[in-house]
């Protein structure tokens, strides 16, 4: 068997892996694609998305998707446009979320393509046609793809996220692989904890935070309370760049608890993200389903608590409603996309308030190198927003405990139950240095061979 790293090798985004089986009597090989994500971050990275696939999409037997984030799903319609007509498998929530995310992404792609004077990567019809190929499967529901057995397990990253176990059934050469997708943090609300696994030969594993420990996981809600109180007391605006999926909903869940227990002052809270608002419908759809939601969230839901709603919370769907946020005097809280401040409505609020010393910019998620968010987080004092230089005078805060990704300790703990069987681990979806540091940790603490593949590298298993 061969494993090809066509995306996600030494890169955080653009996950795309090809597993190729052994030739049968006719010389044919089963080909399974795992993930088909967009490269994100800088304009240079985004241009890569227009490159043709390094394999023939018509020859792929099946596509497996671990979760809905665009860096894992964003090129699926382009795969369809390029000739793919096989089945696409994921959990039902991932299927539902992906449809909303792809429709939104297509609109953004089309807008950027018009600016650049070229055709968009794919059309809305390509998105709709891709969804017709999509099949929802439950956790631990076995699937057979020719000689391969496939199962999805809960990754604890976002609602419906999975890691995927694939077993190749050859007489003298049975092998089992796990593709981690993105692995969740510990103790997060809404979703259940990451499942464990054993008796696996190889793991293709994310290592985004393989070089560090998340601070403040246990007391992140207390820190959020402190930041809110600090900003409100100063009479400023708390700006939180947040990804439309999961981070926004987790913040709503925890602010709801802070409001209900009168731990924070009553101030207007704006969710200024049409996509995040739209995604709430899917959260509601699964909110009493114990396969996906954790026990505490289901308990609150059954008790009649609107876990995504509380007094003074306002959803701003339209552009006009977004602009009207400016008419509301501080103090106020604005949660808006994009999570890395590389577009979306948060940019308009940062343009208005980033130079205000009374206001605060709070980062709760990963900021990719080169992004506006990363520049501000790293301490850059003058940044360009809409082509204009703005002096960063607002307070800049970070709460690492809100990351949806497991840290070094969580990643090591996930591997431990399987260490006796593991032959090799391939570390992906990470900046190179973080992956190399984690590879050293795996070798030292677990005595497992861990490597960081090169982009487009092919490895014989």
Per-residue three-class SS string for 11-61: CCCCCEEEEECCCCCCCCCCEEEECCCCCCCCHHHHHHHHCCCCCCHHHCC
Domain end residue (candidates: 353, 372, 402) = 402
Q: How far is CA 47 from the centre of its chain?
A: 20
At residue 451, φ and ψ (nearest 5 deg) are -130, 160
For the segment 143-156, the average pLDDT, to the nearest whole number, is: 97
Same domain, 289 and 188: no
Nearest to 225 by CA among 192, 180, 260: 260
Tell me: the pLDDT tens digits for 157-180?
999 999 999 999 988 788 999 999
Tell me: the pLDDT tens digits for 56-91?
999 999 999 999 999 999 999 999 999 999 999 999
Same domain, 363 and 229: yes
- The pLDDT of residue 304: 60
> Using alpha carbons only, what angle is made at residue 371 by residues 370 and 377, rounded to the nearest 5 degrees?
100
Nearest to 404 by CA among 353, 374, 372, 364: 364
Same domain, 292 and 188: no
DSSP state at residue 260:
H
Residue 334 has pLDDT above 70, yes or no: yes
Residue 327 has pLDDT above 70, yes or no: yes
Same domain, 429 and 410: yes
DSSP state at residue 64:
E
Place of tokens 């090799």: 424
Cα–Cα distance measured from residue 318 to residue 296, given in angstroms and rounded to the nearest whole number? 33
0.85 exceeded by pTM: yes
DSSP state at residue 196:
P
Residue 116 has pLDDT above 90, yes or no: no
High-pLDDT (> 70) share of the chain, %: 98
Asked if 270 and 348 touch (Cβ cutoff 8 Å), the reply is: no
Domain end residue (candidates: 380, 402, 424) = 402
Q: Give per-residue burial for 160-182: e unless 16+ CB within 10 Å, then b.
A: bbbbbbbbbeeeeeeebbbbbbb
Tell me: the pLDDT tens digits for 193-211?
999 999 999 999 999 999 9
- The pLDDT of residue 426: 98
Same domain, 156 and 56: yes
- The pLDDT of residue 392: 96
Same domain, 417 and 384: no
The pair of three-digit structure tokens given for residue 365, joined into one six-digit string: 């998620």
Same domain, 101 and 132: yes
Total structural domains within the chain: 2
For the segment 323-342, the average pLDDT, to the nearest whole number, is: 91
CA distances from 190 to 83, 248, 289, 305, 450 (A): 37, 12, 11, 14, 32
Same domain, 378 and 423: no
First to last CA, the chain: 5
Q: Residue 303 is part of which domain span? A: 220-402
Among 29-33, 98-102, 159-163, 239-243, which stretch is predicted with the lowest mean pLDDT? 239-243
- The pLDDT of residue 342: 80
Query: HSE-up of 126 (CA within 13 Å, CB side)?
Result: 21
Same domain, 184 and 231: no
Residue 403 has pLDDT above 80, yes or no: no
Residue 432 has pLDDT above 90, yes or no: no
Nearest to 445 by CA among 216, 210, 179, 215: 210
Average pLDDT, the chain: 92
Q: What is the CATH number of the domain that holds 243?
A: 3.40.50.10890
- The pLDDT of residue 175: 94
Burial of 459 (0-12, 13-18, 19+ CB in 10 A): middle
- The pLDDT of residue 307: 72
- The pLDDT of residue 305: 64
Angle between helices 92-116 and 124-132 (to 10 degrees): 160
Residue 431 has pLDDT above 70, yes or no: yes
Q: How confident is the model at residue 246 (pLDDT cuts 50, 70, 90)?
A: confident
Element spanning 148, H or E:
strand 148-154
Same domain, 84 and 135: yes
Cα–Cα distance measured from residue 87 to residue 49, given in angstroms and rounded to the nearest whole number? 22
Q: What is the CATH number of the domain that holds 66?
A: 3.60.15.10
Same domain, 441 and 332: no
Domain end residue (candidates: 370, 402, 434) = 402
Q: How confident is the model at residue 245 (pLDDT cuts 50, 70, 90)?
A: confident
Nearest to 371 by CA among 393, 344, 349: 344
Q: Give per-residue burial for 187-204: e unless 16+ CB within 10 Å, then b.
A: ebbbbbebeebeebbbbb
Q: Which residues contact 311 (CB under 8 A, 6 or more apart)?
A: 259, 266
Nearest to 40 by CA among 89, 99, 108: 108
Same domain, 287 and 316: yes
Residue 313 pairs in a beta bridge with 269
Neighbours of 436 (CB within 10 A): 19
The pair of three-digit structure tokens given for residue 287, joined into one six-digit string: 């909110």
């Amino acid at each position: 068997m061969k494993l090809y790293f066509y995306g996600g090798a030494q890169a955080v985004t653009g996950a795309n892996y090809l597993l190729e089986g052994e030739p049968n009597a006719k010389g044919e090989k089963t080909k399974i694609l795992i993930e088909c994500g967009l490269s994100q971050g800088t304009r240079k990275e985004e241009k890569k998305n227009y490159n043709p696939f390094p394999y023939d999409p018509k020859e792929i037997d099946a596509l497996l998707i671990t979760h809905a984030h665009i860096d894992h799903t964003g090129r699926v319609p382009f795969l369809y446009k390029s000739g793919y007509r096989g089945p696409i498998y994921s959990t039902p929530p991932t299927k539902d979320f992906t449809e909303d995310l792809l429709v939104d992404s297509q609109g953004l792609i089309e807008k950027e393509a018009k600016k650049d004077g070229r055709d968009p990567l794919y059309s809305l019809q390509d998105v709709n046609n891709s969804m017709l190929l999509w099949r929802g499967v439950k956790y631990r529901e076995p699937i057979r793809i020719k000689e391969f057995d496939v199962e999805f397990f809960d990754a604890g990253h976002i609602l419906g996220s999975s890691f995927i176990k694939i077993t190749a059934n050859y007489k003298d050469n049975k092998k089992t692989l796990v593709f981690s997708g993105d692995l969740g943090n510990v103790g997060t609300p809404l979703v259940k904890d990451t499942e464990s696994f054993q008796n696996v030969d190889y793991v293709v594993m994310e290592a985004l935070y393989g070089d560090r420990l998340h601070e403040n996981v246990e007391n992140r809600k207390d820190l959020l309370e402190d930041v809110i109180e600090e900003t409100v007391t100063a009479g400023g605006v708390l700006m939180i760049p947040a990804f439309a999926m999961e981070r926004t909903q987790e913040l709503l869940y925890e602010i709801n608890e802070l409001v209900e227990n009168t731990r924070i002052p009553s101030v207007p809270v704006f969710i200024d993200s049409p996509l995040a608002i739209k995604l709430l419908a899917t959260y509601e759809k699964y909110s009493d389903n114990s396969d996906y939601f954790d026990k505490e969230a289901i308990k609150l839901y059954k008790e009649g608590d609107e876990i995504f709603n509380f007094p003074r919370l306002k959803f701003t769907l339209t552009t006009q409603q977004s602009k009207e946020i400016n008419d509301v005097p501080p103090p106020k809280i604005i949660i808006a996309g994009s999570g890395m401040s590389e577009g979306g409505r948060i940019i308009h609020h940062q343009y208005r308030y980033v130079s205000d010393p009374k206001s605060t910019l709070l980062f709760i998620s990963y900021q990719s190198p080169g992004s506006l968010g990363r520049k501000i987080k790293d301490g850059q004092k003058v940044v360009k927003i809409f082509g204009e230089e703005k002096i960063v005078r607002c307070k800049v805060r970070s709460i690492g405990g809100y990351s949806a990704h497991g840290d070094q300790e969580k990643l090591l703990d996930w591997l431990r139950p399987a260490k006796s069987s593991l032959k090799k681990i391939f570390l992906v979806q990470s900046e190179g240095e973080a992956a190399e540091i984690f590879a050293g940790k795996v070798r030292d603490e677990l005595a497992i061979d861990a490597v960081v593949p090169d982009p487009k590298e092919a490895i014989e298993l």
